[in-house]
Structure 1
Protein backbone atom coordinates (compact mmCIF):
# COMPACT_ATOMS: atom_id res chain seq x y z
CA UNK A 1 0.00 0.00 0.00
CA UNK A 2 2.75 2.35 0.85
CA UNK A 3 4.18 1.60 -2.57
CA UNK A 4 0.97 2.81 -4.35
CA UNK A 5 0.83 6.00 -2.30
CA UNK A 6 4.41 6.61 -3.04
CA UNK A 7 3.77 5.96 -6.73
CA UNK A 8 0.91 8.44 -6.77
CA UNK A 9 3.03 11.00 -5.12
CA UNK A 10 5.74 10.35 -7.70
CA UNK A 11 3.35 11.23 -10.68
CA UNK A 12 4.44 14.53 -12.15
CA UNK A 13 2.14 17.59 -11.58
CA UNK A 14 1.67 18.06 -15.35
CA UNK A 15 -0.15 14.72 -15.61
CA UNK A 16 -2.60 15.65 -12.84
CA UNK A 17 -3.45 18.99 -14.53
CA UNK A 18 -4.16 17.26 -17.84
CA UNK A 19 -6.56 14.86 -16.17
CA UNK A 20 -8.42 17.78 -14.53
CA UNK A 21 -8.81 19.64 -17.82
CA UNK A 22 -10.20 16.55 -19.49
CA UNK A 23 -12.86 16.32 -16.81
CA UNK A 24 -13.94 19.92 -17.35
CA UNK A 25 -14.29 19.35 -21.09
CA UNK A 26 -16.59 16.38 -20.46
CA UNK A 27 -18.77 18.42 -18.09
CA UNK A 28 -19.05 21.30 -20.57
CA UNK A 29 -19.98 18.95 -23.41
CA UNK A 30 -22.72 17.35 -21.33
CA UNK A 31 -24.17 20.71 -20.35
CA UNK A 32 -24.31 21.83 -24.00
CA UNK A 33 -26.11 18.64 -24.92
CA UNK A 34 -28.73 19.23 -22.25
CA UNK A 35 -29.42 22.78 -23.51
CA UNK A 36 -29.69 21.52 -27.08
CA UNK A 37 -32.13 18.80 -26.12
CA UNK A 38 -34.30 21.26 -24.18
CA UNK A 39 -34.52 23.57 -27.22
CA UNK A 40 -35.26 20.79 -29.67
CA UNK A 41 -38.08 19.33 -27.57
CA UNK A 42 -40.07 22.58 -27.96
CA UNK A 43 -41.12 22.40 -24.31
CA UNK A 44 -41.74 25.28 -21.97
CA UNK A 45 -38.27 25.33 -20.52
CA UNK A 46 -36.68 28.18 -18.67
CA UNK A 47 -34.26 28.79 -21.51
CA UNK A 48 -35.29 31.69 -23.78
CA UNK A 49 -33.68 32.86 -26.97
CA UNK A 50 -33.71 36.57 -27.88
CA UNK A 51 -33.29 37.15 -31.62
CA UNK A 52 -30.66 39.66 -32.59
CA UNK A 53 -32.21 42.72 -34.29
CA UNK A 54 -31.24 43.00 -37.91
CA UNK A 55 -29.84 46.23 -39.30
CA UNK A 56 -32.17 48.28 -41.56
CA UNK A 57 -31.79 47.78 -45.27
CA UNK A 58 -30.61 51.25 -46.21
CA UNK A 59 -30.47 50.27 -49.86
CA UNK A 60 -34.29 50.57 -50.04
CA UNK A 61 -34.29 54.16 -48.80
CA UNK A 62 -34.08 57.19 -51.05
CA UNK A 63 -33.58 60.84 -50.23
CA UNK A 64 -35.13 62.08 -53.47
CA UNK A 65 -38.80 61.45 -52.60
CA UNK A 66 -39.49 64.76 -50.76
CA UNK A 67 -37.84 66.66 -53.60
CA UNK A 68 -39.95 64.83 -56.16
CA UNK A 69 -43.16 65.56 -54.24
CA UNK A 70 -42.19 69.22 -53.94
CA UNK A 71 -41.58 69.44 -57.67
CA UNK A 72 -44.92 67.77 -58.36
CA UNK A 73 -46.70 70.23 -56.06
CA UNK A 74 -45.11 73.21 -57.76
CA UNK A 75 -46.04 71.78 -61.15
CA UNK A 76 -49.68 71.39 -60.10
CA UNK A 77 -49.77 74.93 -58.73
CA UNK A 78 -48.28 76.29 -61.92
CA UNK A 79 -50.85 74.40 -63.98
CA UNK A 80 -53.71 75.76 -61.86
CA UNK A 81 -52.40 79.32 -62.17
CA UNK A 82 -52.00 78.93 -65.91
CA UNK A 83 -55.52 77.52 -66.27
CA UNK A 84 -56.99 80.35 -64.16
CA UNK A 85 -55.13 82.96 -66.18
CA UNK A 86 -56.29 81.40 -69.46
CA UNK A 87 -59.89 81.27 -68.22
CA UNK A 88 -59.77 84.94 -67.16
CA UNK A 89 -58.31 85.99 -70.50
CA UNK A 90 -60.93 83.99 -72.36
CA UNK A 91 -63.78 85.49 -70.35
CA UNK A 92 -62.47 89.01 -70.88
CA UNK A 93 -62.14 88.43 -74.62
CA UNK A 94 -65.68 87.06 -74.87
CA UNK A 95 -66.99 90.03 -72.89
CA UNK A 96 -65.31 92.42 -75.30
CA UNK A 97 -66.78 90.57 -78.28
CA UNK A 98 -70.24 90.60 -76.72
CA UNK A 99 -70.05 94.28 -75.88
CA UNK A 100 -68.87 95.02 -79.40
CA UNK A 101 -72.18 93.66 -80.64
CA UNK A 102 -74.08 96.14 -78.48
CA UNK A 103 -75.00 99.46 -80.01
CA UNK A 104 -72.69 102.43 -79.57
CA UNK A 105 -75.55 104.32 -77.94
CA UNK A 106 -75.76 101.77 -75.10
CA UNK A 107 -72.01 101.88 -74.53
CA UNK A 108 -72.11 105.67 -74.40
CA UNK A 109 -74.92 105.52 -71.82
CA UNK A 110 -72.87 103.13 -69.69
CA UNK A 111 -69.86 105.45 -69.71
CA UNK A 112 -72.12 108.38 -68.81
CA UNK A 113 -73.52 106.35 -65.89
CA UNK A 114 -70.01 105.75 -64.50
CA UNK A 115 -69.24 109.44 -64.69
CA UNK A 116 -72.52 110.37 -63.00
CA UNK A 117 -72.02 107.97 -60.08
CA UNK A 118 -68.56 109.23 -59.16
CA UNK A 119 -70.02 112.07 -57.11
CA UNK A 120 -72.92 110.10 -55.61
CA UNK A 121 -72.70 109.32 -51.91
CA UNK A 122 -74.54 106.37 -50.43
CA UNK A 123 -76.67 104.17 -52.65
CA UNK A 124 -78.32 106.94 -54.64
CA UNK A 125 -81.92 108.13 -55.04
CA UNK A 126 -83.28 105.50 -57.42
CA UNK A 127 -82.69 102.04 -55.91
CA UNK A 128 -86.45 101.53 -55.70
CA UNK A 129 -86.71 101.88 -59.49
CA UNK A 130 -84.02 99.27 -60.27
CA UNK A 131 -83.85 95.47 -59.94
CA UNK A 132 -81.77 92.61 -61.33
CA UNK A 133 -82.70 89.41 -63.11
CA UNK A 134 -80.63 86.59 -64.57
CA UNK A 135 -79.59 86.15 -68.17
CA UNK A 136 -79.02 82.65 -69.65
CA UNK A 137 -75.34 82.04 -70.35
CA UNK A 138 -76.30 80.47 -73.67
CA UNK A 139 -77.28 83.97 -74.80
CA UNK A 140 -74.08 85.64 -73.58
CA UNK A 141 -71.34 83.31 -74.91
CA UNK A 142 -71.12 81.65 -71.48
CA UNK A 143 -70.53 84.91 -69.63
CA UNK A 144 -72.15 85.93 -66.37
CA UNK A 145 -74.58 88.72 -67.21
CA UNK A 146 -77.53 90.22 -65.40
CA UNK A 147 -80.40 92.27 -66.74
CA UNK A 148 -80.71 95.63 -65.00
CA UNK A 149 -84.41 96.40 -64.97
CA UNK A 150 -84.99 100.15 -64.81
CA UNK A 151 -88.44 101.77 -64.55
CA UNK A 152 -88.96 105.50 -64.39
CA UNK A 153 -91.51 105.87 -61.63
CA UNK A 154 -91.61 109.65 -61.83
CA UNK A 155 -93.93 111.89 -63.84
CA UNK A 156 -91.07 113.36 -65.85
CA UNK A 157 -88.45 112.16 -68.26
CA UNK A 158 -85.29 111.10 -66.42
CA UNK A 159 -81.97 109.39 -66.95
CA UNK A 160 -80.60 106.59 -64.76
CA UNK A 161 -77.12 105.49 -63.75
CA UNK A 162 -76.63 102.11 -62.05
CA UNK A 163 -73.57 100.50 -60.46
CA UNK A 164 -73.58 96.68 -60.26
CA UNK A 165 -71.06 94.94 -58.00
CA UNK A 166 -70.09 91.29 -58.42
CA UNK A 167 -69.14 89.56 -55.18
CA UNK A 168 -67.43 86.24 -54.47
CA UNK A 169 -68.56 83.65 -51.92
CA UNK A 170 -66.77 85.57 -49.13
CA UNK A 171 -68.69 88.75 -49.93
CA UNK A 172 -65.74 90.56 -51.47
CA UNK A 173 -66.36 92.83 -54.46
CA UNK A 174 -64.24 91.43 -57.29
CA UNK A 175 -65.70 93.45 -60.16
CA UNK A 176 -67.85 96.53 -60.75
CA UNK A 177 -69.84 97.37 -63.89
CA UNK A 178 -71.87 100.47 -64.82
CA UNK A 179 -75.00 100.69 -66.96
CA UNK A 180 -77.29 103.56 -67.81
CA UNK A 181 -80.49 104.58 -69.50
CA UNK A 182 -80.91 108.13 -70.79
CA UNK A 183 -84.02 110.19 -71.33
CA UNK A 184 -86.42 107.53 -70.12
CA UNK A 185 -90.01 108.73 -70.36
CA UNK A 186 -92.36 108.69 -67.40
CA UNK A 187 -93.34 105.09 -66.73
CA UNK A 188 -90.84 103.95 -69.34
CA UNK A 189 -88.57 100.92 -68.94
CA UNK A 190 -85.03 99.95 -69.95
CA UNK A 191 -83.17 96.66 -69.62
CA UNK A 192 -79.41 97.16 -70.11
CA UNK A 193 -76.99 94.30 -69.33
CA UNK A 194 -74.23 94.27 -66.73
CA UNK A 195 -71.66 91.78 -68.02
CA UNK A 196 -68.89 90.30 -65.87
CA UNK A 197 -65.44 89.75 -67.37
CA UNK A 198 -64.56 87.12 -64.78
CA UNK A 199 -64.42 83.36 -65.60
CA UNK A 200 -67.44 81.19 -64.71
CA UNK A 201 -65.67 79.70 -61.68
CA UNK A 202 -65.76 80.55 -58.87
CA UNK A 203 -69.39 81.70 -59.09
CA UNK A 204 -70.18 85.34 -58.39
CA UNK A 205 -73.28 87.13 -57.12
CA UNK A 206 -74.48 90.43 -58.58
CA UNK A 207 -76.07 93.23 -56.56
CA UNK A 208 -77.10 96.83 -57.07
CA UNK A 209 -74.55 99.03 -55.29
CA UNK A 210 -75.86 102.42 -56.48
CA UNK A 211 -78.72 103.72 -58.58
CA UNK A 212 -79.09 107.41 -59.34
CA UNK A 213 -81.82 109.25 -61.19
CA UNK A 214 -80.77 112.54 -62.79
Structure 2
Protein backbone atom coordinates (compact mmCIF):
# COMPACT_ATOMS: atom_id res chain seq x y z
CA UNK A 1 0.00 0.00 0.00
CA UNK A 2 1.35 3.42 -0.91
CA UNK A 3 1.58 6.18 1.68
CA UNK A 4 -0.32 9.40 1.04
CA UNK A 5 2.97 11.13 0.23
CA UNK A 6 3.65 8.78 -2.68
CA UNK A 7 0.32 9.40 -4.43
CA UNK A 8 1.66 12.18 -6.68
CA UNK A 9 4.40 10.14 -8.37
CA UNK A 10 2.14 7.06 -8.53
CA UNK A 11 -0.62 9.06 -10.24
CA UNK A 12 1.89 10.47 -12.71
CA UNK A 13 3.19 6.98 -13.54
CA UNK A 14 -0.38 5.73 -14.05
CA UNK A 15 -1.13 8.67 -16.33
CA UNK A 16 2.01 7.95 -18.34
CA UNK A 17 0.95 4.31 -18.67
CA UNK A 18 -2.42 5.44 -20.01
CA UNK A 19 -0.74 7.67 -22.61
CA UNK A 20 1.58 4.83 -23.68
CA UNK A 21 -1.44 2.53 -24.00
CA UNK A 22 -3.28 5.12 -26.09
CA UNK A 23 -0.22 5.59 -28.31
CA UNK A 24 0.02 1.83 -28.83
CA UNK A 25 -3.64 1.61 -29.81
CA UNK A 26 -3.25 4.51 -32.23
CA UNK A 27 -0.26 2.76 -33.78
CA UNK A 28 -2.22 -0.46 -34.16
CA UNK A 29 -5.02 1.40 -35.98
CA UNK A 30 -2.85 3.10 -38.60
CA UNK A 31 -3.41 2.21 -42.24
CA UNK A 32 0.16 1.36 -43.09
CA UNK A 33 2.84 -0.72 -41.38
CA UNK A 34 4.61 2.29 -39.82
CA UNK A 35 3.23 4.10 -36.79
CA UNK A 36 1.47 7.36 -37.45
CA UNK A 37 3.33 10.55 -36.70
CA UNK A 38 0.90 11.46 -33.89
CA UNK A 39 1.25 8.06 -32.23
CA UNK A 40 5.03 8.22 -32.49
CA UNK A 41 5.09 11.68 -30.91
CA UNK A 42 2.70 10.54 -28.16
CA UNK A 43 4.84 7.51 -27.40
CA UNK A 44 7.97 9.67 -27.31
CA UNK A 45 6.31 12.18 -24.96
CA UNK A 46 5.05 9.35 -22.77
CA UNK A 47 8.54 7.91 -22.56
CA UNK A 48 10.00 11.28 -21.53
CA UNK A 49 7.23 11.74 -18.93
CA UNK A 50 7.82 8.25 -17.53
CA UNK A 51 11.53 8.97 -17.23
CA UNK A 52 10.83 12.27 -15.44
CA UNK A 53 8.35 10.55 -13.10
CA UNK A 54 10.92 7.89 -12.26
CA UNK A 55 13.59 10.52 -11.53
CA UNK A 56 11.16 12.53 -9.34
CA UNK A 57 10.14 9.40 -7.45
CA UNK A 58 13.76 8.36 -6.97
CA UNK A 59 14.68 11.87 -5.76
CA UNK A 60 11.81 11.92 -3.26
CA UNK A 61 12.68 8.44 -1.99
CA UNK A 62 16.32 9.48 -1.55
CA UNK A 63 15.39 12.66 0.34
CA UNK A 64 12.99 10.76 2.60
CA UNK A 65 15.61 8.12 3.36
CA UNK A 66 18.19 10.79 4.16
CA UNK A 67 15.74 12.50 6.54
CA UNK A 68 15.23 9.20 8.32
CA UNK A 69 18.98 8.67 8.67
CA UNK A 70 19.46 12.16 10.11
CA UNK A 71 16.77 11.60 12.73
CA UNK A 72 18.12 8.16 13.62
CA UNK A 73 21.25 9.94 14.89
CA UNK A 74 19.17 11.68 17.58
CA UNK A 75 17.01 8.93 19.08
CA UNK A 76 17.41 10.33 22.58
CA UNK A 77 16.23 13.82 21.58
CA UNK A 78 13.01 15.39 22.82
CA UNK A 79 10.05 15.96 20.48
CA UNK A 80 10.20 19.65 19.59
CA UNK A 81 7.76 19.96 16.69
CA UNK A 82 5.75 22.61 18.56
CA UNK A 83 8.92 24.69 19.02
CA UNK A 84 9.37 25.24 15.27
CA UNK A 85 7.32 27.68 13.18
CA UNK A 86 7.52 28.15 9.42
CA UNK A 87 7.10 31.55 7.82
CA UNK A 88 4.19 30.81 5.46
CA UNK A 89 4.36 29.14 2.07
CA UNK A 90 7.55 28.46 0.22
CA UNK A 91 9.08 30.86 -2.27
CA UNK A 92 11.43 29.96 -5.11
CA UNK A 93 15.09 30.92 -4.98
CA UNK A 94 17.18 31.74 -8.07
CA UNK A 95 17.62 28.00 -8.81
CA UNK A 96 13.86 27.30 -8.63
CA UNK A 97 14.22 25.49 -5.32
CA UNK A 98 11.54 26.11 -2.73
CA UNK A 99 12.69 27.84 0.45
CA UNK A 100 10.97 28.72 3.71
CA UNK A 101 12.19 30.42 6.88
CA UNK A 102 12.01 28.28 10.02
CA UNK A 103 12.12 29.85 13.49
CA UNK A 104 13.13 27.59 16.37
CA UNK A 105 12.19 28.70 19.91
CA UNK A 106 14.07 27.01 22.77
CA UNK A 107 11.97 26.98 25.97
CA UNK A 108 14.66 25.30 28.08
CA UNK A 109 17.16 26.85 30.50
CA UNK A 110 20.22 25.84 28.44
CA UNK A 111 21.34 26.13 24.83
CA UNK A 112 20.07 23.32 22.58
CA UNK A 113 20.42 22.15 18.99
CA UNK A 114 17.55 21.04 16.78
CA UNK A 115 17.01 18.76 13.81
CA UNK A 116 13.94 19.79 11.80
CA UNK A 117 12.30 17.95 8.89
CA UNK A 118 10.35 20.21 6.53
CA UNK A 119 7.99 18.70 3.95
CA UNK A 120 7.13 20.48 0.69
CA UNK A 121 3.66 19.58 -0.63
CA UNK A 122 1.49 20.57 -3.55
CA UNK A 123 -1.98 22.08 -2.96
CA UNK A 124 -3.51 18.58 -3.04
CA UNK A 125 -1.27 17.49 -0.18
CA UNK A 126 1.03 15.28 -2.24
CA UNK A 127 4.59 15.17 -0.96
CA UNK A 128 6.96 16.81 -3.46
CA UNK A 129 10.17 16.90 -1.44
CA UNK A 130 11.49 16.81 2.11
CA UNK A 131 14.61 18.24 3.69
CA UNK A 132 16.28 18.30 7.08
CA UNK A 133 17.72 21.43 8.67
CA UNK A 134 20.04 21.43 11.66
CA UNK A 135 19.83 24.50 13.88
CA UNK A 136 22.73 24.52 16.34
CA UNK A 137 23.17 26.38 19.60
CA UNK A 138 19.75 27.97 20.08
CA UNK A 139 20.18 30.09 23.22
CA UNK A 140 18.31 29.26 26.43
CA UNK A 141 14.81 30.79 26.27
CA UNK A 142 15.79 32.22 22.88
CA UNK A 143 15.10 31.64 19.21
CA UNK A 144 17.05 31.25 16.01
CA UNK A 145 16.13 31.33 12.31
CA UNK A 146 17.18 28.92 9.59
CA UNK A 147 16.19 28.36 5.98
CA UNK A 148 14.81 25.07 4.70
CA UNK A 149 15.54 24.53 0.99
CA UNK A 150 14.13 21.81 -1.23
CA UNK A 151 16.58 19.37 -2.80
CA UNK A 152 15.40 20.14 -6.33
CA UNK A 153 13.46 22.76 -8.25
CA UNK A 154 9.72 22.68 -7.55
CA UNK A 155 6.99 24.33 -9.59
CA UNK A 156 3.53 25.59 -8.75
CA UNK A 157 2.18 26.54 -5.35
CA UNK A 158 4.13 24.75 -2.64
CA UNK A 159 2.97 24.40 0.97
CA UNK A 160 5.39 23.62 3.77
CA UNK A 161 4.94 21.78 7.06
CA UNK A 162 7.15 20.75 9.93
CA UNK A 163 7.01 16.96 9.65
CA UNK A 164 9.03 16.45 12.83
CA UNK A 165 11.60 18.15 15.00
CA UNK A 166 13.91 16.95 17.75
CA UNK A 167 15.73 18.97 20.41
CA UNK A 168 18.99 17.64 21.82
1:120 Cα deviation from its structure 2 partner? 6.4
Task: Return the alpha-carbon distance in structure 1 between the equivalents of residues 115 and 159 of structure 2.
Answer: 20
1:152 Cα deviation from its structure 2 partner? 1.2
CA contact (8 A) 1:114 1:179 kept: no
Gaps of 5+ in 1: 1-61, 93-110
Gaps of 5+ in 2: 1-29, 60-65
Do structure 1's residue 146 and structure 2's residue 100 form an aligned pair? yes
Task: Return the alpha-carbon distance in structure 2 between the equivalents of residues 75 and 65 of structure 1.
Answer: 18
Task: Return the alpha-carbon distance in structure 2 between the equivalents of residues 201 and 159 of structure 1.
Answer: 32
Corresponding residue pairs, total: 126
1:174 Cα deviation from its structure 2 partner? 3.7
Which has the bigger relative contact order, CA under 8 A and spacing at least 6? Answer: 2
Name the structure where strand makes up a greater proportion of residues: 2
Output aligned runs, 1:28-177, within 5 Å: 63-64=31-32, 67-68=35-36, 69-78=38-47, 80=49, 84=52, 117-118=71-72, 125-133=79-87, 134=89, 136-137=91-92, 139-177=93-131
User: What TM-score do the two structures reach when normalised by structure 2?
Assistant: 0.57
Name the structure where helix makes up a greater proportion of residues: 1
User: What TM-score do the two structures reach when normalised by structure 1?
Assistant: 0.46
Runs of 4+ in 1 over 6 A off after TM superposition: none
CA contact (8 A) 1:114 1:161 kept: no
